[in-house]
Amino acid sequence: MEVTYLLLALAMLFALIATYLAIVEKHLVKAVVFSAIQSIAFTLALYLLRAPDIVLVYLPITVGIYPAAILFLIKKTEEVEQP
Please, which contacts does 46-49 make with residues 24 or more away whose CB atoms are closer than 8 Å?
48/4, 48/7, 48/8, 48/11, 49/8
Q: How far is the CB of 83 from another protein (least distance, A)?
A: 21
Give the residues lining the site for another protein (CB under 8 A): 3, 7, 10, 14, 17, 21, 29-30, 33, 36-37, 40, 43-44, 47-48, 50, 52, 55-56, 59-60, 63-64, 67-68, 71, 74-75, 79
* DSSP character at residue 77: S
Q: Compare residues 72 and 83 and give the one whose CB is closer to another protein.
A: 72
Q: What is the dihedral of CA 20, 83, 33, 9, to 10 degrees?
A: 0
Q: How far is the CB of 12 from another protein (least distance, A)?
A: 13
